[in-house]
């Protein structure tokens, strides 16, 4: 998976794949991440995520977060 929030990417395996309707073009796909983590930058994250709840500490070099975004990210990192 590429282009996740925060610019991250990760490998995963398809765990299930079910059509939403018979003959439809949409599918419900379940994935299993190769490494656990909060790659969608959810905040607050579910309590049962434990140490995997922290927001990733990366930004691609092409992304320059604004001062406001940097302050928000810093507060989230201190919580994790």
Q: What pLDDT does residue 54 have? A: 76
Taking a C-beta distance cutoff of 8 angstroms, is the pair 26, 14 a contact? no
- What would the two tokens of residue 57 be? 């500490």
The one-digit pLDDT tens for each residue of the chain (80 residues) are 888 877 778 889 999 999 888 888 899 999 998 888 887 777 787 888 887 777 766 545 455 555 555 566 666 666 65
Taking a C-beta distance cutoff of 8 angstroms, is the pair 6, 56 a contact? yes
Query: For residue 26, what are the contacts with CB-CB under 8 A and spacing of at least 6?
Result: 19, 20
Residue 74 CA: distances (Å) to CA of 42, 45, 65, 69 = 14, 16, 12, 9
Domain ranges of the chain: 5-79
């Amino acid at each position: 998976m590429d282009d996740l929030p925060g610019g991250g990417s990760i490998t995963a395996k398809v765990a299930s794949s079910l059509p939403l309707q018979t003959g439809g073009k949409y599918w419900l796909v379940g994935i299993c991440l190769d490494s656990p983590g909060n790659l969608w930058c959810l905040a607050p994250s579910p309590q049962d995520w434990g140490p995997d709840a922290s927001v990733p500490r990366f930004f691609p070099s092409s992304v320059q977060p604004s001062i406001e975004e940097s302050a928000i990210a810093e507060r989230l990192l201190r919580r994790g």
